[in-house]
Structure 1
């Protein structure tokens, strides 16, 4: 089924607004009875419109499927889910404010433009017409076939498609109003072509500070933040310091792991009464499953997919040959070559006969009826191979006739049903036969075969190099001594003690409750540390020890600071804005000095600061002067009359005073119409992102997640 296939293959296309994913998370439903205060089913509001728990939980299966298919960790998805859902609400609200309505008819008419459907050629016929009625029938068929889970998946994802449609229609309507006039184009052409020649004096901030040391106080940072409140609006966050104590295996632990492997490799396994070892076992897969720290994998792999120690040796090896022991990352390994064969590529076609209960099938026939029909088609095709195309009409695979049943080229490593791949592996070009998979019965025709590179099936007997109980105990004692030393101490003392001990310390200045991972850590305890730091009982200066599951590593965390939602704490953003604020303070000193001296020429100003006068060309499109891009200086150069001295200009790299000598025009290619089109296109491209950011910056957003989450006792 095309619809369900897309849901399974590319769930990320279904979710969110403008190619983002609406993901699921949050409160443990079993803990509802523990909540008092905020409504546990409401996680927040956007301009008064509620964000419900159900809106997140309805998307949970999509999150899990996406993470599994892409092999991604599930930490940190909560904040992404929140942000995208907030954006979805804002778009819906603006959509309705404009008097727009997404009717059912509009939904179906717009479906062909949604990425989920637009990017799948099978949703269009040979003439490019969208197969809307076929898709509707497929969705209706889910209900009729009793596929409740799949139908509910469609209903949940339909909401996300609606958000995307509203965004596309909203941005399209507003974007159509973005225009550019000829007068605007003429101004841009003038700014592009005119070049001012100026004499100037630059008082460099760095040089000036050498003789005028300037300290940026917390109040200076605060004043700057208040002037730019939108830029420094932050969610509740915490300043956490943490020291990591890895339970690194000792030399004795390393030797013990190697000895354990050698015992299984050379002498025998206790699990097999000491008589069987990896060299003489008759059942390699079972021996590995019983004795190895990594599972047995039956796939055939190319040399580049094998461990480094085998890549250059495997080609000349014989079946049964062993390699090792060798060390790969944190394992000692012995590998045995079980089989090798060329990875032929096969072109094949099939007719799929599904039945009620088969995976992804909407067929109503029984399995027995399906087998009978498949046998009949097989006999017909075997009697005359040309009948294959005629019998494609019986196939339950979407668009089978249009695609002539082709599945393209596959290899033994392709992500296909094993039963299908086994048939291809064991049959030559021109063969026709029947194979059964979880999807039903396949009448398969092998259209072509190409020889490929050699692939190898290898069994790996591996033993992890783990920290022993003694090593873990030593690490615990080290972490315990450290936390005892820092109890009641300031963060500076915490940092100094860690540095003196040679320990690995991290200090992210602002971590949020739902970001999932902590910079520099990435352990299963990150979420627990965040929960600890945001506990309402937690006080600045508190510290605690956390043990990483599976490794025995210890983490000592220290709460440095607490920040409520609002404007950022000045010290938390000092590294970000201190250079800017310092330059502003230096600029004021320089300008005050120029004004106090009442200097009437560039030479006098240059002498005042022990620098020199210089000359340069500058224009709005290339505002490079004195080694830095200075848009304000370009503006002043065109704003002052010839041979007049400008007021002091606070630039990016220093304070400038300019005296314009002349203006010349350097006509560049491109007429007014081209410039109008370019301006309009640029503004249109920037509109969506800027518009959405503006909506979010000015929205009344209430976030109850911390309160609701913490009262449920939920932990990541």
Structure 2
């Protein structure tokens, strides 16, 4: 069942229609109070269609698998899972509205085009035919032999179906997008024609230096009302917090240095000082018992060593020690135990795996695997040329295509120890059988070459931690701060934090299922967010939180509460204030220009305190002396020659324009090429625009806050 196993390993490709990038929110409905009006099995609705608890948890499970496989955190995935489900429902609904269907036959005929299959040659035979029957057989066998793998397939099958619907829907819709010859000719004209203009510009920045303009909350609100779709907001909280890290003091640093010096020179209490790191005869055991960093037996290259050792290790003698030295948050003493040249080995193998072996999807027993491996080994020993034929039995993905090769490896490579041991102890040309946690390997050593010197080193390390005394001082500091700011305004909270140079931040729109707080990333982030969303919470409330393991303190303050609807103006001030300020400035400038009733650019320039300038502008590249001004380009081609335009509210200022002439600069590309290019560009843009339109106009209900807040212990 190598194919099904490969699907499981490559689950990161099965995240839904839209790849939105990264803690499980598994909710036990059986414990829910049945008196509540919300159904605990329904987390939301999209146009009346339920998003169920099982769907939500399945999507989170898939995303957790992806995060774990990529070594990424598994916290804060709830919102991304929700968005993927919403988009998937919208696509399915639109798919069905258009009369399209996804039958079982269609599913299996189209599955080869899904990214997880299309991008991997393992699923195709030598003639390029997709091995759909083998995939079906593997899945059917797994239902009884590997129920966990079968369950995983069912979860991901839904995501594959949504992707198929998206491809079919977008393919059908965009097939109707065409470009007429007239449209292409107009685009060519816009591309090639250049307007030569004289203009006067009242720059917003320069005007604001002499005309103080303050953007009020009402100004922001008015702008938001004009763009309701753009500023549609989900429930969020405006949270501010001061962070009090329990950083080790100078005394804590000195205490850690004394501790490691004692272990290095004087020895442990358990040995009554008889054994220390300098004289011990069992370095690995001494490190395991006394170090905050485990003993690593591998040989490493100089590039993998701490900076303190890199330039000294080549001339060091076996047994020589270095330190104590500081490496990030550690004090370290290092001892050279051995050194040897790192031979590189080129090898290939046939893997015969079994049920229960690491990463295995095989169904045979261990005994059956051993019997198969022994039999195949005997055949290859008698005729080495049979190795290539034996690769067909290998449980390693793509074994035949790769000729079983694992490439060049060194003793430091991240391979199974048994495999590396075989390579180290067998000469070039050797073939033999070796067992590892992955199964039985028939290994052939293809080549060997000498490499650079590598070193085996024992590191005795101690973390420089904050003492109880230091943690208590941090608690006192945080407690004093919350007492001083309780019942005070946000500005007083902020000013006191900044005055005392405490670490301060104010993310203005934190979502309920965001998972992490910007600038912190601690295990208390989710608790702070849940606290801020508590129905009893009021603006101005404060509380103190302790980060487990570090003793750091977070003092949080609720600045504002945003319910679902239009965004709170102050929450998006940083985002839109520059735009709104320019509009307020433009209004003042327009009033001044309209009052002046200028007859010429020279008259306008003199009255407005600016200068007349010239430029060449094009609709496709509407740049006026480095500033992108599409409205100016439109006016330049719209105004009659040598006539003064009406004031134009541009991106960087208000303009008055006179078009002197239009010239044509014919660029390469015939009408056919341009027609195809425009059609392709419009098709690409349409798919994203369609999905956004579906979401903007959908009735989306999110019940997660109600469900979760009534079950905070789950």
TM over 0.5: yes
- For 2:135, the equivalent position in structure 1 comes to 135
Instruction: Check conservation: 1:198, 1:660, Cα contact below 8 A.
Output: yes
User: Tell me, what secondary structure is at the counterpart of 2:196?
Assistant: strand
- Deviations, residues 450-491 of structure 1 (Å, cap 9, x unaligned): 333333332221111111111111111111111111111111
- For 2:71, the equivalent position in structure 1 comes to 71
- For 1:275, the equivalent position in structure 2 comes to 274
Matched, 1:228 2:231: no
User: Tell me, what secondary structure is at the counterpart of 2:32?
Assistant: helix
- Deviations, residues 655-680 of structure 1 (Å, cap 9, x unaligned): 11112222121212222112112211
- For 1:455, the equivalent position in structure 2 comes to 454
1:311-390 equivalences in 2 (<5 Å)? 311-361=310-360, 365-390=364-389
- For 1:88, the equivalent position in structure 2 comes to 88
- Deviations, residues 253-287 of structure 1 (Å, cap 9, x unaligned): 11111111112222222345543222233333332
- Deviations, residues 544-578 of structure 1 (Å, cap 9, x unaligned): 11111111111111111111111111111122212
User: Alpha-carbon deviation of 1:614?
Assistant: 2.3
Instruction: Check conservation: 2:318, 2:338, Cα contact below 8 A.
Output: yes
User: Tell me, what secondary structure is at the counterpart of 1:659?
Assistant: strand
- Deviations, residues 330-386 of structure 1 (Å, cap 9, x unaligned): 110112233333433333233333344434556555433432333233233223323
User: Which segments of 5 or more consecutive residues in structure 2 lack a partner in the other structure?
Assistant: none
Matched, 1:114 2:90: no
- Deviations, residues 606-653 of structure 1 (Å, cap 9, x unaligned): 232122222222221232225421111111111111122211111111
Instruction: Check conservation: 1:253, 1:467, Cα contact below 8 A.
Output: yes
Give the direction of change, closer, same or farther, for the CA distance of 1:273–1:712 in structure 2 (3 Å limit). farther
CA distance in 2, matches of 1:142, 1:360: 15
- For 2:39, the equivalent position in structure 1 comes to 39
The aligned length equals 714
TM-score (normalised: structure 1)? 0.95
Instruction: Check conservation: 2:515, 2:525, Cα contact below 8 A.
Output: yes
Moved more, 470-479 or 588-597: 588-597
Give the direction of change, closer, same or farther, for the CA distance of 1:177–1:410 in structure 2 (3 Å limit). farther
Instruction: Check conservation: 1:25, 1:81, Cα contact below 8 A.
Output: no
Instruction: Check conservation: 1:43, 1:50, Cα contact below 8 A.
Output: yes
User: Alpha-carbon deviation of 1:714?
Assistant: 4.2
- For 2:165, the equivalent position in structure 1 comes to 166
CA distance in 1, matches of 2:23, 2:670: 48
CA distance in 2, matches of 1:12, 1:157: 10
- For 2:177, the equivalent position in structure 1 comes to 178
User: Alpha-carbon deviation of 1:27?
Assistant: 3.2
CA distance in 1, matches of 2:542, 2:382: 79
User: Tell me, what secondary structure is at the counterpart of 2:710?
Assistant: helix
CA distance in 2, matches of 1:3, 1:393: 14
User: Alpha-carbon deviation of 1:301?
Assistant: 2.5
- Deviations, residues 73-94 of structure 1 (Å, cap 9, x unaligned): 2222111111111111111111
User: Alpha-carbon deviation of 1:435?
Assistant: 0.8
Give the direction of change, closer, same or farther, for the CA distance of 1:396–1:649 in structure 2 (3 Å limit). closer
Give the direction of change, closer, same or farther, for the CA distance of 1:683–1:539 in structure 2 (3 Å limit). same
Instruction: Check conservation: 1:6, 1:116, Cα contact below 8 A.
Output: no
- For 1:646, the equivalent position in structure 2 comes to 645
- Deviations, residues 277-331 of structure 1 (Å, cap 9, x unaligned): 2223333333222211122233332222222212222233333332211101111
Give the direction of change, closer, same or farther, for the CA distance of 1:707–1:6 in structure 2 (3 Å limit). same
Instruction: Check conservation: 2:16, 2:88, Cα contact below 8 A.
Output: yes
- For 1:102, the equivalent position in structure 2 comes to 102
User: Tell me, what secondary structure is at the counterpart of 1:170?
Assistant: helix
- For 2:252, the equivalent position in structure 1 comes to 253
CA distance in 1, matches of 2:649, 2:276: 78
Give the superposed CA RMSD: 2.2
- For 2:615, the equivalent position in structure 1 comes to 616
1:594-605 equivalences in 2 (<5 Å)? 594-605=593-604
Moved more, 346-355 or 519-528: 346-355
- For 1:673, the equivalent position in structure 2 comes to 672
CA distance in 2, matches of 1:193, 1:479: 65
CA distance in 2, matches of 1:546, 1:356: 47
User: Tell me, what secondary structure is at the counterpart of 2:460?
Assistant: strand
CA distance in 1, matches of 2:277, 2:55: 53
- For 2:562, the equivalent position in structure 1 comes to 563
Give the direction of change, closer, same or farther, for the CA distance of 1:8–1:393 in structure 2 (3 Å limit). closer
User: Tell me, what secondary structure is at the counterpart of 1:515?
Assistant: coil
- Deviations, residues 28-55 of structure 1 (Å, cap 9, x unaligned): 5574348833222211111111111111
- For 1:12, the equivalent position in structure 2 comes to 12
User: Alpha-carbon deviation of 1:396?
Assistant: 4.4
CA distance in 2, matches of 1:626, 1:393: 66
Moved more, 314-323 or 502-511: 314-323
User: Tell me, what secondary structure is at the counterpart of 2:701?
Assistant: strand
Instruction: Check conservation: 1:268, 1:277, Cα contact below 8 A.
Output: yes
User: Alpha-carbon deviation of 1:501?
Assistant: 1.5
User: Tell me, what secondary structure is at the counterpart of 2:293?
Assistant: coil
Moved more, 47-56 or 611-620: 611-620
Give the direction of change, closer, same or farther, for the CA distance of 1:5–1:286 in structure 2 (3 Å limit). farther
Instruction: Check conservation: 1:22, 1:59, Cα contact below 8 A.
Output: no
- Deviations, residues 156-201 of structure 1 (Å, cap 9, x unaligned): 1111111112112222222222221111111111111111122222
User: Alpha-carbon deviation of 1:64?
Assistant: 3.4
Instruction: Check conservation: 1:490, 1:541, Cα contact below 8 A.
Output: yes
User: Tell me, what secondary structure is at the counterpart of 1:407?
Assistant: strand
Matched, 1:588 2:614: no
User: Tell me, what secondary structure is at the counterpart of 2:465?
Assistant: coil
CA distance in 2, matches of 1:458, 1:29: 53
Moved more, 298-307 or 228-237: 298-307
- For 2:208, the equivalent position in structure 1 comes to 209
Instruction: Check conservation: 2:214, 2:581, Cα contact below 8 A.
Output: yes
User: Which segments of 5 or more consecutive residues in structure 1 lack a partner in the other structure?
Assistant: none
- For 2:508, the equivalent position in structure 1 comes to 509
Moved more, 27-36 or 695-704: 27-36
- For 1:709, the equivalent position in structure 2 comes to 708
CA distance in 1, matches of 2:294, 2:431: 36
Instruction: Check conservation: 1:23, 1:81, Cα contact below 8 A.
Output: no
CA distance in 2, matches of 1:573, 1:585: 17
Moved more, 311-320 or 484-493: 311-320
Matched, 1:629 2:624: no
User: Alpha-carbon deviation of 1:61?
Assistant: 4.1
CA distance in 2, matches of 1:417, 1:29: 43
User: Tell me, what secondary structure is at the counterpart of 2:112?
Assistant: helix
User: Tell me, what secondary structure is at the counterpart of 1:36?
Assistant: coil
Instruction: Check conservation: 1:21, 1:84, Cα contact below 8 A.
Output: no
- For 2:440, the equivalent position in structure 1 comes to 441
Instruction: Check conservation: 2:18, 2:84, Cα contact below 8 A.
Output: no
Give the direction of change, closer, same or farther, for the CA distance of 1:375–1:574 in structure 2 (3 Å limit). closer
CA distance in 1, matches of 2:390, 2:215: 81
- For 1:123, the equivalent position in structure 2 comes to 123
CA distance in 1, matches of 2:623, 2:130: 53
TM-score (normalised: structure 2)? 0.95
User: Alpha-carbon deviation of 1:397?
Assistant: 4.3
Instruction: Check conservation: 1:236, 1:513, Cα contact below 8 A.
Output: yes
